[in-house]
Amino acid sequence: MELYEAMTHTPSCRYFTDEAVPKAVLHRVFDHARFASSGGNRQGWRFLVVTDPELRRAVADLHRKQWDPYFLHALEGTVGFQGDGSGAKMEHGTAYAEKRLRRTDDFAQVLHEVPVLVVAYVELATLAVTDQHLDRLSVVGGGSLYTMVQNVMLGCTAEGLGTALTTLLAAEQPDVDALFDVPDGFALGALLAIGWPVPGKQYTKLTRKPVEEVVFMNAWGQGLTT
Ligand SMILES: Cc1cc2nc3c(=O)[nH]c(=O)nc-3n(C[C@H](O)[C@H](O)[C@H](O)COP(=O)(O)O)c2cc1C
């Protein structure tokens, strides 16, 4: 698959078959994804590939502890899905946003059945968090994890696999650490579900803002146009 095609065809997959993913395929994906950039080339990322059914169940249960209350709040006001950055609500209305939300709930309720759950960690000592002293939320630290996470997602697309990224599990890190004996000094940054997509159940066209709205040239608000 050509790179630009992978970049424009990597949706959040919500419906997976129960067919196992061969270890060799996963290895190939990670073997390419590992060339991602990280601050100082420290490569502090660590990925736990979870295929054992009982462990997947435990991870999915922890994820649902965060998802279920979020879902109820979101249903009341479609919180988060208004401002998820995709422009979905603005372009397609509330019904569309609610449909997305319900698809995400379908996914969360059967997360334990997804053949591969990958928990992404990063070693805190490897991070140079250059915005940590500013009077706002810090965003830089994750930069040395999510480059590889995105590469994994693109690699999966190239293999015909679907992926769904969630960060809700981060709030349950102590319990996830205990489950896998994770040593101190690591932060849980993402959960990535990986499997074969159910044909016909995926979005075929992604909804994203145009370049002019999100990329500026020489002055803030001055969109990059051709
Ligand atoms: C940082 C981050 C957190 C996300 N958290 C969740 C999540 O908790 N649950 C989920 O199902 N999807 C999550 N997503 C996926 C987005 O909701 C999804 O990419 C977005 O709605 C656009 O959908 P699409 O990629 O299918 O077009 C997350 C994505 C990112 C980058």
Whether 103 maps to a domain, the answer reads: yes
Residue 113 lies in domain: 3-214
Residue 130 tokens read as: 């250059």
The pair of three-digit structure tokens given for residue 198, joined into one six-digit string: 């159910």
Atom 10 in ligand 1: residue holding the nearest Cα: 166
For ligand 1, atom 5, the nearest C-alpha belongs to 166
**How many domains in the chain?**
1
C-alpha 4: how far from chain center: 19
Euclidean distance between CA atoms 4 and 107, whole angstroms: 27
Residues with CB under 6 A from ligand 1: 11-12, 84, 86, 104, 107, 164-168, 203, 206-207
Residue among 73, 165, 168, 194 whose CB has most ligand 1 atoms within 8 A, to mutate: 165
Whether the per-residue pLDDT at 110 is higher than 50: the answer is yes
Test site for ligand 1: of 167, 169, 172, 204, most ligand atoms within 8 A of the Cβ: 167
Q: Is residue 223 part of a domain?
A: no
Looking at the chain, the whole-number percentage of residues with pLDDT higher than 90 is 84
Res 42 pLDDT > 90:
yes
Segment 187-211, tens digit of pLDDT: 999 999 999 999 988 777 899 999 9
The string of pLDDT tens digits covering residues 140-158 is 999 999 999 999 999 999 9
Predicted pLDDT at 76: 84
Confidence (pLDDT) at 163: 98
Residue 224 in any domain: the answer is no
pLDDT at 85: 45
What digits encode the pLDDT tens for the residues 21-31? 999 999 999 99
Domain assignment present for 222? no
pLDDT computed for residue 78 by the predictor: 54
Over residues 171-186, the pLDDT tens digits come to 999 999 999 999 999 9
Give pLDDT, residue 88: 45
Q: Is 66 a domain residue?
A: yes
The stretch 84-96 carries a mean pLDDT of: 55
% the chain with pLDDT above 70? 93
Please name the residues in contact with 172: beta carbons below 8 A apart, sequence gap of 6 or more.
62, 63, 65, 66
pLDDT band of residue 224 (cuts 50, 70, 90) is very high
In a domain, 220, yes or no: no
The 3-state secondary structure of the chain, one letter per residue? CCHHHHHHCCCECCCECCCCCCHHHHHHHHHHHCCCCCHHHCCCEEEEEECCHHHHHHHHHHHHHHHHHHHHHHHHHCCCCCCCCCCHHHHHCHHHHHHHHHHHHHHHHCHHHCCEEEEEEEEHHHCCCCCCCCCCCCCCCCHHHHHHHHHHHHHHHHCCCEEEEECHHHHHHHHHHHHHCCCCCEEEEEEEEEECECCCCCCCCCCCCCHHHHCECCCCCCECCC
23 in a domain, yes or no? yes
Residue 179 covered by a domain: yes
Which residue from 68, 91, 99, 166 has its CB within 8 A of the most atoms of ligand 1, so it is best to mutate? 166
What CATH number should be reported for the domain holding residue 81?
3.40.109.10
Q: Considering the chain, what is the average pLDDT of its residues?
A: 92
CA of residue 185 to ligand 1 center, whole Å: 26
